[in-house]
Amino acid sequence: MDQKVTEWIDAHKQDLLEDIKALCAIPSVKAAPLEGKPYGEESYKALNLAIDMAAKYGFTTKNYDNYVGTADYDSALPRTLDILAHTDVVPAGEGWTVTEPFNIIEKDGRLYGRGTSDDKGPMLCALYAMRALKESNVPMKKGIRLIMGSDEETGSSDIEHYYAIEPEAEMTFSPDAEFPLINIEKGQFRGIISKKYEESTALPRILSLDAGVAFNAVPQKAVIKFEGLDMDAAKGAMEEIAKACEVEVNVTADQEITIIGESAHASTPENGKNAGLAAMMLASKLDLADSECLEFVKKIPELFPYGVTDGSGIGIKMCDEESHDLTCTLDLYHVDPTGMEFTFDSRVPVMGTKENCQDVAEKNITAAGFDFTTPGMVPPHRVAGDSDFVQTLLGSYEKVTGLKGECLAIGGGTYVHELKNGVAFGAILPDIDTRMHGADEFMDIDNIMIATKVFADAIWELCGDK
């Protein structure tokens, strides 16, 4: 890439930071639809500000019904490369200490605020990469389009709307994850385990056990309510579970025990401490009256042993070289005197099939006496790691950063999951946790500059008239 492009980027650092601040100041969290504004007022404002920025910098823009905006580098060139990013953000949440979530500040070489790293910051890095090439008059022979979505965080209905109108480009990258590059997203296999039984009134008994807020998150908290339990006699088992599971176990009311573990995304359950499973183990250890309910409570830790997240308890442990281990976590729990229901979430390597995964799990779960249902398996996403496209992106990354470029496989889904030739590429450098979705989200200013240069080089390599 021409030295003048790099120089242009360095010279426009402050402009880029100001644009990121302005765009991140809009709290574009999805809200109820308004007339012509499918995700509410703030999402509409953020999307249109981004479109206006692109138009101001000389790109041909188009607004797809306020779902998606596009900016074409040069609409006369055959469209070849799409860059897919988003202007919506997750809710602010609590616990911010450095700044208010939508008051973006520069501090210690970072920009702090919601959206700085997911994904408004990276999206504007891509826009500035396009701008740098354009204003440096670098000749292009293929077209580039920045696609700006506004509903990535809650289901990607935005790009569903867009791709119903427009075809997928030959190549797509999305700066909505991390460097180097994600070419494989595991498949997903979710299952619901349930059991109905006759109510037993023998005491002591479980009145209810609840844990989990989402099928794709390891539960942080579980609450068990009892009837007729001697709370003092429960102390020993409580201490035992607290120690064995490294969780907090406390009496929170008469006949009520609360367990606090640690949440984690279902694609990385090994990072969590599953409060729901700890609660099932505690219930199994207490001196409760025999019942069908208790009998089935005790079976759950056998199918989902605490701390084991490879699916071996239900017989689906598997691993392949490209996409690595299957992960599995039981995330939603409800038990009462007449029935129980649980949901697990498993992320399946490319080698997984209905036969070696879904059918095996179903067989083992029903053999234990439970009922089983599943919405079926979501297939994995894979772009060949040795393709010219992927190798070119990795080459640009290596050239600009001096770091080793390699493909990654992840358990989560990204914006490109449904695209045939789409990969996630940047924009966060390796081993940095920018607290996306958490309090004090940030993006390092050096990272912003490096990502912009990597994108400019990649666009040039893929589309330049060399």
Question: Is the bond preceding residue 119 a cis peptide, omega within 30 degrees?
Answer: yes
Q: How far is the CB of 72 from Zn ion (least distance, A)?
A: 23
Structure tokens at 347: 């992320």
Q: What is the spatial distance between Cα 133 and Cα 137, in angstroms, rounded to a whole number?
A: 6
Q: Which is nearer to Zn ion, 118 or 345 (CB)?
A: 118
Q: Which residues bind Zn ion (CB under 5 A)?
A: 118-119, 176
CB of 304 to Zn ion, least distance (A): 30
Shortest distance, position 118 Cβ to Zn ion, whole Å: 4
**Is-contact 212 219, C-beta < 8 A?**
yes
Choice between 119 and 331, CB closer to Zn ion: 119
Please tell me the distance from the alpha carbon of residue 462 to that of residue 388, in angstroms, as a whole number. Answer: 9
Nearer to Zn ion, 151 or 176 (CB): 176
Q: Which residue has the tokens 């001196």?
A: 287
Which residue's entry shows tokens 């402050």? 14
- In whole angstroms, the minimum distance from the beta carbon of 455 to Zn ion comes to 16
Enter the tokens of residue 239.
Answer: 């201490």
Exposed, middle or buried by CB within 10 Å (0-12, 13-18, 19+), for 47? buried
Find the shortest distance in angstroms from Cβ 29 to Zn ion: 13
Determine the length of the chain: 466
* In the complex, least distance from residue 90 CB atom to Zn ion, rounded to whole angstroms: 8
The end-to-end CA distance of the chain, in Å, is 10
CA dist., res. 67 & res. 157, Å (int)? 8
Min dist CB 20 to Zn ion, Å, is 15
The β-bridge relationship of strands 110-112 and 205-211 is: unpaired
Q: Closer to Zn ion by CB, 219 or 411: give it.
A: 411
Lookup result for tokens 């042993």: 305
- In terms of CB distance, is 119 or 444 closer to Zn ion? 119
The residue whose two tokens read 């640690």 is 262
Of 291 and 414, which has the nearer Cβ to Zn ion?
A: 414
CB of 89 to Zn ion, least distance (A): 8
Q: What's the one-letter identity of residue 335?
A: V
Nearer to Zn ion, 274 or 414 (CB): 414
Nearest Cα neighbor of 89 from 70, 109, 117, 61 is 117
* Cβ 119 to Zn ion shortest distance, Å: 4
Nearer to Zn ion, 28 or 220 (CB): 28
How far apart CA 64 and CA 66 sit, in angstroms, is 5
Distance (Å, whole) CA 12 – CA 362: 57
State how far the Cα of 280 lies from the Cα of 273, in Å rounded to an integer.
13
User: What is the number of helices (H) and of strands (E) in the chain?
Assistant: 11, 27
Choice between 27 and 349, CB closer to Zn ion: 27
